[in-house]
Every structure is written in C-alpha cells, then in structure tokens.
Chain A
C-alpha cells in the first residue's frame, strides 16, 4: 500500500518536472516574440495629460522648491522600443529554478521515505531521525541568531535612525523613548530566551511526563502587578510630557513667531505673520488663481503677511505653527524636531516648539555638510504623497532678521489690482441693483 503510494508520487513528480520544463520554455519563446510588438507610444501622452491635471489643481501663486510634476515626468521611461526579451527570460528562469527546487525537495523526501521503509522491511531499527530534538535545536539556533540579529540591528541600524533632537521638547521625547526602549528590550530578550529556551529544554520525550501545574495565584499576581507598575510609570511620564508639549500657556503662545502652513496636493504653502505677528484670516470661498489660499484681505492683519518658499526659523526662539489644509488631510511632519500634527481642512491645528540646533550645527553633529532639515507629509494624500516636501532651515537670530526682511508680501500689487477690479465690479453691480430697485419702486 505504502509502496504504491510512493510510486504514484514519483510519477507525479517526474510529470511535474517535465511540465515545468516545457511550460517555462514555452513562456520564454512566446514572450520574446511578443515584446518586440509591445508598444509604448502612449507613454508621453499620458504623462502630459497627468502633468496638466496636477498643475491645474495647484494654484500657481508660489513656486516652492519642489516640483512634483517635473519629477514625475522624469520618472517616466524613455519612450523608445526596448527589447524586453532578456527580462522575460530571466523571469522564466527564476520560475523554473523555483519549480526545480520544489521537485528536488520532493525527490529527497521520497528517497528518505524509501530508505526508512526498506529499513523497516529488513527489520533493522537504526537511529531514527528525531524531529523533536531537531526542532528544539532549531529553536536554540533561531534564538542565538535572532539575538545576534537584534544586537546587530541596534548597533548598525540604531545609529542610522536615532539622531539628536533639533528641538527642545524633542529631548524629553527622546529621553522617554530611551527609557521605554531599555524596558522593552529587557522584556523582549528575557521572554524570548524563556520561550525558545523552554521549547528546547522541554522538547518531548516518551520517558517523561509533563508537570501538572494548572495555576499559581501568587505567580499570576506578580506578573499582573509588575507590568502594571512599569506601565504606570511610563503612563505618568508620557502623560506629563505630552501635556507639556501640547498644552502651551497663552503667555508662551504670545512669545512665539507665528507661521502658517497650508497643505495641498502636493505642496506646502507657507505664510509668515509679518510685523504684527498675527496671521490674517482665510476663507476658502475667496480662493482665486492669484489668491490661492483664499486670504481675506479685508482683515488688516493679512496685509503684512509674508510669502515664503521655505521655512527659516531662528534658533532658541519659540515658533508656533498654525496648520491647515486646502483640500484633503495631510500631516505636517518634521522628524528632526519630533513635530507632527495633521493638516485638516476646515479645522486649524497648532504646534509650538523651540528649535535648539541650527542647520549648521546639525551638519557638524551629523558630519554631513549637505544635511538639511526637511518637512514632509505623513498622511496619505495621493500620487504625489511621497514627494511633498519643504526645506526647513534653522539660523541664528541675526540671520533670520536679514532673511525675513527680504520676503515679499502676500498683499502684492497683482492681488491689489485683482481686488480693486473685483470691488469695482461689485460696486457696479450694486449700482445696477439699486437702479433696478428704484425703477421697480417707481
């Protein structure tokens, strides 16, 4: 009965192998014929179409350093007929390789089965392959390799990912991060040593019986209370840090430089509050091609608001960001400063922080003369989500004063002209209406 089964599977395996060979040969030849015909003529058309679509969605009031459209275009392959047959071939080879691997495995298994069966028939009882010991040993190997892997990650990728915070509140966050990291790493290592160690040590044997141990209330109490205490410490620490970051007193709010950031697909619009340090009102209904943010210029606070292409802030002074969105959700994210808050259409959000390292200082610390702080979008917002950035520069107060003085106003001549025109129009309309009503009354 078992022998027959083995024969069947052998036949099946060889049939499979033959099938695999023919199929993969077939695909190689078929696809080499195909590819020369495949047309890529539409590439440029669609690229152009999508480009116009994207540009029409963004009001061209400010040009930030980032130009998604251009980059997106660059991503397109050159539109010449490429011979893909090599790629298809390599794909087919990989497929074939995998099938052969499977067949190889099946053959080995069958050989082993035949071997053990022939031993059984001969009545010899040699040392049998013991999967319990083997699996137990694998757990120990995995544990050791895993622990080394974790150590390697901490040692190599840790420094790649953990950098000094460029903001003051970021230091508190980093402190708490490190406390949490130490606690969790200890628990992680100990529990895994226990898990895999027990798995190895108590791997099954027929001579032994497991220890009947249904519960131990004292033990259970301990491992309820200890994590509870550890978590209470973390909760308290976290709660007060969180409150200190998000709960800024009104006095401190007044001390900060006010900057508005408004996200839209796929760029950030930046507005500095100007000499009065107050941002003018916005009303989305006032949005026009020249007034992309819909700033309400009847509000005098908006007259000195400045238009900038990148964020420049002075070191050691609090800055208060008011974050908004024109279209959909975005997320205002400055990883170097440990700052993130969503940009929500219809609801302003705020984040106040104090930078503590200038860009130059950070470059020295990271030993990278080209390093720049960045601001990115962390909330999925569409095809350009991965490239919605703005540069952030932290400078000394003197440099900041020089820079800010040079920035243009939002309330530019173009805007004034447009507003005048609009006012004239509405005035005329009013006159007309007045006349009409007069005539009606008459």
Chain B
C-alpha cells in the first residue's frame, strides 16, 4: 500500500513506444556518421567541429601574440606558412594582424562557445537527462549542425580570398566593415563573414527552437520542471535567449549587406574615404551598435549560462552534495535571462549614445551582477562540507568558478559608465571578457567534455593527462589575462598592432613578452587534451554505466549507444536530481529513478510537500520502525 501511493504518478504513461522499432533500420555509414539524425551523434559532430575551430582560433591567437611580444623580430617560418602577402619577411602585417584578431574572436565566440558548447551539450543532455528518445525534430537537428558546418567552411574560406578575411574586429562596426577602401578585409572577406554569420544564425535558431520544444514537451513521466537538473534549466533558458536575440543580428547583418552591396545608407553618412566623397547620407553607425549588441550582450550569456549549468551538475556530483539553493540557482538563471536583454547599452557608453541613456544602462548592468553573485556563493556553499572527488571535470568546474569571480568583479568596473570612460576599448576589457566569458566558458565546456565523455564515447579519458591539462591551462590563463588589467588601466587600447609607437607603452613591452610565453604554454597544454580526447575515443578504458555515481537520468541509459536511448520503457522519475549523501541512505547517491518507497530510511518531510498521502505513509513507517527519522536527527 505504501508503495502504490508513492508510485502512483508513474503508472499512467508510456504511449511512447517510438524507440522499439528502431533496431530494424539499416544504418549506412552516411546515415550513421554524416547525415545522422541521432542527437548523440549530432552532439559529437558539434563537439569535434567545435574543437577543430577552437584549435584554429587558438593558433591565430598565438600568431598575434608573437607579433605583440616581438614586434621588431622576424619569424621566417611565418612567411613559409602565410606567404609574403601577410607575413612578409616573417613579420605579420598590420592588416593581417587585425584579420587574426577578428577571426579569432568570431570563431571563439560563435563557433566554439556558442555552437561547440550549447550545440554539443544541449543535444547530448536534453534528451538523455529528460528521458526522451530524441529531440523534438531530429531532422531539424541535423539541419542545424549542417548549417553550422557550412558556416565554418565559409568563414575558413575567407582566408583564401585575395583581399584577406574580415578584419574590422569581431563586432565588425561599420563604416569600417562597409568600406573596402578603408581596409582590405572589408572586401570579399567581409562578404563571406556576413554570409557565414547568416548560416550560423539559422543553425543557432533551429537548434534553439528544437531545444525549447523538447524541454517543454518531451520530459518523461514524473519529470516536472522543478525536477530538471540545472544543466537542462541552463540550456533551456539559453535557447530562449538565443531565439529572442539572434534574429536581431540577422536584421543587422542584412542591412549591412544592403549598405555594402546595394548603396543604401543605414549605417553610413557624411563619409570621405580615400579622397572620395561618398553619396551616403542619413545613416548612423550607432544604429549598428544597438542592433549588434542587442544580440551581442545576450550572446555572452548564451555562452556562459550553459557553462554554469554544466558546472552546477558537475560540482554537485563530485562534491557528493546537493547543489546549494537549487531554486535560487534557477531563479538567478531566469533573472540573468531577463536582464540580459536590457543591458546592451553598456557596450556603448562612450559611442555618442545619449549620456542619460548610458546612466540607465549602467543601473540595469549592475543589477545583473546580483544573480551572478548569488550563483557564485551557492557554488561555494555546495563545496563547503562536501566530500570532493577531484576528477578532471571537477577541477575544471572549480576553475570556472574562479574565473567567473575574477572576470565578474572586473565587470563592476566596466559596467560603471564613469569608470568606463577610461577603460573602454582598452586591455582591461580584453582581460575582463576573456576571463569571464572566454576562460570561464571554455572551462565549462572542457568540464562537460571530461564529465560526459563516458556517455559520448563509452570510454574514459585519462585522468593524469586531464590533471596536467587543467593545471597548465588554469595557471596559463591567469598569467595571460591578469597583467592585461594593468595595461588597460594605464590606457593601452586593444587591437594595437604594436606598442612601439607610444612612449608610455614601452614599459609594457616586457609584460607582453611574458604574456606571450604564458599563452604559448597554455596552447601547448591543449596538446595534452587533444591527445587524450582522440586517443581515448579508440583506446580509452571502457566506461561503466554510471562512472561518477551520478543521479541524473543519462546514466541509466546503456553504455552502448542505441537510437532511442533506452531499450524498452523510458525510466520514470520520482525525485530531484541532487539527492547526494542523503542521511539514512546506505549509498551517497540516490538516482532520480529510485522511488521514495525504496528509500524509506532516508526520506525527509521536505520530499512530500505536495503529497500529504505519501507523507502519512512515511510517518506510519517511521512509527513502525521506532525511529524518529534518522535523517531529521542528522540534519539538526
């Protein structure tokens, strides 16, 4: 009798027998590995493409770091690889330097940290953690990946056009991005950039709509919204932010295409370039900035929120403790989602936007720091009195928290309009966003890779290489970005080809050399990861079904992948995902699929908030066992 009451929600379900007949399909190489509609394969495609893009973007950054560290030295190898158009005599040219900076930023923000992060883990985890056979629309999911792939190819192609790739900075502010006479990268390279971005946005939108509909419609029995792991909350809210903000970038891009190719004047006015008076009148470059940052600012939350979701899950699992303040974590994610749409103006304090508007944006910006602070403190409280397992994933999660604190705090400076006057477009900004959305988000991604690798490939990654990778990257990233704050305070602007032309920058030349060595160190550390990643796909230790002793649903699926995820019925869910180290239970984790009837010794009153009947049963049980709830005692 006891068990029926606690079970009752689980009985009525399972009309979804979709998975059973999938064994009969014949899968060819093409349908399995290339045009796959299976969410797990698509996740892997996103991940590997993202890793490839990350490696390319990282190599670009090493190239421009070389230039910054040794502006007067020539590197003949560069001429060998880049040709004498871009690196004549082994020296990177100013135009190409700007192209490197631009493409590094674009690839990292969009291809690695948006598609590589959201694309990988939303695809992998949404169906697996919610108990769905696949995404709401597997075909659109496949389309989303291939649009992304196409966009990567087009972006890479811009390295092979004569006038070079786009080089107006990743924000491609017009008029610079609209006038090939102002910079050669604004020729064909910029056209390719814009086309690539349109495909990318299409991919991101299709993906996001798919994630939202899957989360809303395809949760398994018992999985109400408040039983979802924080990863899913994060992916879900990220997708909402994406759906609302990406279309604005499309409109901005389309208007820029019009300005560039069809002679309109949306962003152009009063321009005399290369001695030529342009006919454009009435447009405003500031319009682009509004449209761009209306996406651009939510974009940084698109980048960081999945990382925060992943770390929440990993920290809870490896601390063997429930995440502290689950509801507060969700509400702060929701808060960030809403506020992220009304803070874009803080990128524009000194662009000539009405200063009063700047003041308003300053207020909204500093408000968004509150939910971020809550998240940080909740992480700390989760680690407190935990029983930490230092898996590589856990180390990366701790690293993320550290970066998130460091980068977040410098955001308080930049969000303040008055302080921004002197810090805008300096190295302080570079340091700030690289820590808070660059390093933090990439650590979230790596944390996810180490944690869910067994789920993706059925094998384990090598721990020792993971440790080496973590420490070198963690130390390297701080050594690279921490000194940059001071350069910025001194007034060194970003995107400077060389520091040699200003007397006051001379003293930073040695610091630049130091930063470049640190960057090279962290770049080399990635070899440990790449080796580990690709080697372990084939030769890693075979993974067990639940290697981290985790509560969430994906670890109830068999190690061998099958289309439909679970053989037979989809498991039902009875509890939240964070019942770690619950007092009174013999193990330190209770999977979501374990009904309360099986854990009578550890149930708490809190578990039966909406279910008075079950509460009565629990009380009856406790009376019979002459215990006053061992759990309750321990809690005190």
Binding site for B on A (CB under 8 A): 31, 34-35, 38, 40, 42-43, 46, 53, 56-57, 59, 71-72, 75-77, 82, 84, 87-88, 91, 98, 102, 105, 109, 131-132, 135-136, 138-139, 142, 146, 149-150, 153, 157-158, 160-163, 170, 172-173, 176-177, 180-181, 183-184, 187-188, 191-192, 194-196, 198-199, 202-205, 208-216, 219-220, 223-224, 227-228, 231, 234-235, 238-239, 241-243, 245-247, 264-265, 284-285, 287, 289, 294, 326-329, 331, 333, 335-336, 338-342, 344-347, 349, 370-372, 374, 376-387, 389
- Interface set, chain B 78-111, CB cutoff 8 A to A: 79-80, 84, 88-91, 93-95, 98
Given the known inter-chain contacts A40-B89, A84-B76, A176-B419, please indicate yes or no for A191 contacting B370, CB distance below 8 A.
Answer: no
Chain B contributes a number of interface residues (CB within 8 A of A) equal to: 139
Determine the chain B residues whose CB is within 8 A of the CB of A331 once the complex forms: 350, 424-425, 493
Given the known inter-chain contacts A345-B270, A379-B173, please indicate yes or no for A214 contacting B322, CB distance below 8 A.
Answer: yes
Residue among A157, A202, A210, A327 facing the most chain B CB atoms (10 A cut-off): A210
- Does A153 lie within 8 Å of B483, measured CB to CB? yes
Interface flags for B497-525 (1: CB within 8 Å of A; 0: not) read 11101111001100100000000000010
- Does B463 lie within 8 Å of A131, measured CB to CB? yes
Given the known inter-chain contacts A46-B88, A231-B370, please indicate yes or no for A386 contacting B272, CB distance below 8 A.
Answer: no
- Does A376 lie within 8 Å of B502, measured CB to CB? yes
Q: Of the candidates A46, A135, A247, A383, which one forms a contact with B497 in the assembled complex, judged by CB atoms under 8 Å apart? A: A383
Interface flags for B366-397 (1: CB within 8 Å of A; 0: not) read 11011001101111110111111110000100
- Does B482 lie within 8 Å of A149, measured CB to CB? yes
Known: A374-B502, A387-B501. 14 other contacts (CB 8 A): A77-B91, A176-B418, A213-B385, A219-B381, A224-B328, A234-B366, A341-B350, A342-B350, A342-B351, A344-B352, A376-B502, A383-B94, A385-B497, A386-B499
Q: How far is the CA of A235 from the CA of B416 in the complex (A)?
A: 7
Q: Does B467 contact A (CB under 8 A)?
A: yes
Determine the chain B residues whose CB is within 8 A of the CB of A162 once the complex forms: 489-490
Q: Which residue of A lies closest to B425 (CB)?
A: A378
Q: Of the candidates A77, A177, A213, which one forms a contact with B324 in the assembled complex, judged by CB atoms under 8 Å apart? A: A213
- Does B419 lie within 8 Å of A173, measured CB to CB? yes
Determine the chain A residues whose CB is within 8 A of the CB of B334 once the complex forms: none
Q: Does B355 contact A (CB under 8 A)?
A: yes
- Does B413 lie within 8 Å of A242, measured CB to CB? no
- Does A91 lie within 8 Å of B77, measured CB to CB? yes
CB distance from A440 to the nearest CB of B (A): 30
Determine the chain A residues whose CB is within 8 A of the CB of B496 once the complex forms: 385-386
- Does B366 lie within 8 Å of A191, measured CB to CB? no
Q: How far is the CA of A203 from the CA of B471 in the complex (A)?
A: 17
- Does B286 lie within 8 Å of A383, measured CB to CB? no
- Does A383 lie within 8 Å of B412, measured CB to CB? no
Determine the chain B residues whose CB is within 8 A of the CB of A142 once the complex forms: 471, 474-475
Q: How far is the CA of A180 from the CA of B322 in the complex (A)?
A: 34
Determine the chain A residues whose CB is within 8 A of the CB of B564 once the complex forms: none
Binding site for A on B (CB under 8 A): 74-77, 79-80, 84, 88-91, 93-95, 98, 168-169, 173-176, 179, 181-183, 268-275, 277, 281, 283-286, 319-328, 350-352, 355-356, 358-359, 362-363, 366-367, 369-370, 373-374, 376-381, 383-390, 395, 398, 401-402, 405-406, 409-410, 412-413, 416-419, 421-422, 424-426, 463-464, 467-468, 471, 474-475, 478, 482-483, 486-491, 493-499, 501-504, 507-508, 511, 524, 527, 531, 578, 580-583, 588, 606, 634-635
Q: Which residue of B lies closest to A98 (CB)?
A: B524
- Does A188 lie within 8 Å of B406, measured CB to CB? yes
Of the A-B pairs whose beta carbons lie under 8 Å apart in the complex, a sample of 23, sorted by A's number, is: A35-B76, A42-B84, A84-B90, A131-B463, A142-B471, A162-B489, A170-B422, A177-B413, A180-B419, A183-B412, A228-B370, A231-B369, A235-B366, A265-B182, A287-B277, A326-B272, A327-B182, A331-B425, A335-B490, A338-B422, A377-B493, A386-B94, A389-B501
CB distance from A1 to the nearest CB of B (A): 11
CB distance from B382 to the nearest CB of A (A): 9
